[in-house]
Structure 1
């Protein structure tokens, strides 16, 4: 890896205050101990896509991000694709959704959930 890529790979994934609030709202209706799991999968119109699930099980090697009472889990394979990213929540004229600002993505589709490296 070059120095820029290496420095991004060592940068943590963050969760914005807006995203933490929305995650907290979602998890209120779930059983106690439920967390949001974010992962990267092959597919989508740009090659990779983000997946959002609720999960009550944390793996030993998950990245765990806690902010304002919200807990996000990211598996180690997905962390490699998401290093340096910010998980945000936007509510605009098009609709409300989680958006990931990923510095590793070289292209993204209009829906905001698919990206290329």
Structure 2
């Protein structure tokens, strides 16, 4: 996992979530490929999955009242206030290796995860 992020310090992040350079670059690239500059990358925690909570990571064209936003090079990261306590200190990365491809979330608040890795408690 990359330890670098495109914002300077943790104190500057309002979402409590860090987006690595690799994740920011991939998200920005996906937005460019779609020709969209009106979307933000939103991470949410929702009820579901076998461990009780699951992540939802998607592009969103809405910002709701109370949303927390961090600006990265080419992409905004949005977290709603209900999800923020579950995500404080989490790191979103992007991997493109033979073993793993896609966005990953390393969340220190997850006490346990399910075997499929899709949900946490």
If the length of structure 2 is used for normalisation, what is the TM-score?
A: 0.78
Q: TM-score, normalised by structure 1?
A: 0.80
**Aligned equivalents of 1:46, 1:59: Cα separation in 2:** 27
Q: In the alignment, which of 53, 57, 61 is matched to residue 56 of structure 1?
A: 61
Counterpart secondary structure, 1:25: helix
Q: Which has the higher helix share?
A: 1
1:16 paired to 2:24: no
Structure 2 unaligned spans of 5+: 1-13
Structure 2 residue aligned with 1:73: 78
1:101 to 98, 106, 119: 106
Q: Would you identify which runs of 4 or more consecutive aligned residues in structure 1 move more than 4 Å?
A: none
Q: CA RMSD in A?
A: 2.0
More strand by share: 1
Give the aligned partner of residue 48 of structure 2: 43
- The 1:18/1:92 distance shift into structure 2, 3 A limit, reads same
